[in-house]
Amino acid sequence: MAQLRDIPLNALRAVETVARLGTLRAAATALGVTQGAVSQHLRRAEDRLGAQLFTRGPQGLILTELGEAVVTDLSRGFALLEQAVITASRRDESALTVSVAPVFASKWLVWRMNDFAQAHPDLTLRIEASMSLISPRMGGADVAIRVGPGGWRDVYARKLADMLVFPVCSPALAERVASAEDLRALPVLHDLHAADLWPDWWREHAGGGAPPARTGPAYSDAALCLDAAIAGQGVLMAWPTLAGDALARGQLVRPVEGILSSANAYWLITQGPRMTPDIRAFFDWVQAELGRSYAALDLELGAV
């Protein structure tokens, strides 16, 4: 049986590249060698493996059934090798690269970075704002914080906190609200990129019926919606990491009681099932800070 040490890495790279790009010419260009060299690499790989990976005919090279299975593993392996090289070449061992949603970073995380620096003076956070749910391994981050229902494939997710939502508005607008029904008379702000949670909140806390119409301005970013709410433009369905600090400063108030536990939660996404000490330190810190933010609003994290 062939072992990895028996097969040149360049030969395996040629197999994967030809399969991915489809022709010897394209593979030769990508690898920076001649087509003849690529052909030699393919023959060497097949000879060492003792198996045929490609059939050769008028239509060119076609993967055999075994070749398809082999290339699937080779592609995954070379992707990991490439990421390892990137990590080794640019990684600062004293820094932890964290991918987070822009609104989470701007309205919550950046205001607590000094606290993290004081608690962990030997560890620097590098924040990358992104809306994409990515595997940190393929995205270049050490860890990510995302909001969603969980259950994603190919990532390791650890729950940080439940996603709780509630209406907020400026103190001036709140003076016009004595009950949930009074919210119908106020403009409702609309986040174009967020799910409409008003029907669920209204059903649970206002006795059912149609929720308030979206009569206020619409924005394509939750942070803009928050600023619009502070400016008195309408009522916003918000959550602790978005509106918690504005509530603490008195810029916003909750005009009526009622908390909705959405189907989403905050998750810490890691490269593997085991946390490094740095990631564990960040996880513990974030969860503790979220706990303080929630407690200030008399809310429970609901984390496990």
Question: Residue 134: pLDDT band by 50, 70, 90 thresholds?
Answer: low
For the chain, residues classed under CATH 3.40.190.290 are 93-304
For the chain, residues classed under CATH 1.10.10.10 are 4-90
Q: Residues 40-44: what's their mean pLDDT?
A: 89
Prediction pTM value: 0.67
- Does residue 192 carry a pLDDT above 90? no
Cα-based distances in Å from 116 to 122, 125, 184, 292: 10, 9, 42, 14
Return mean pLDDT, the chain: 87
Residue with tokens 């969980």: 150
Domain 4-90 has CATH 1.10.10.10: yes
Enumerate the β-bridge partners of residue 126: 97
**93-304 has which CATH code?**
3.40.190.290
Q: How far apart are CA 285 and CA 120, in angstroms?
A: 10
Position 215, amino acid: T
For residue 33, the model assigns a pLDDT of 86
In tens, the pLDDT along 247-279 reads 999 999 999 999 999 989 999 998 778 888 999
Q: Residues 147-167: what's their mean pLDDT?
A: 89
Long-range contacts made by residues 103-110, C-beta under 8 angstroms, separation at least 24? 103/221, 103/222, 103/223, 103/242, 104/145, 104/147, 104/241, 105/129, 106/223, 107/222, 107/223, 107/226, 107/241, 107/242, 107/243, 107/245, 108/241, 108/242, 108/244, 108/245, 108/293
294: helix, strand or coil: helix
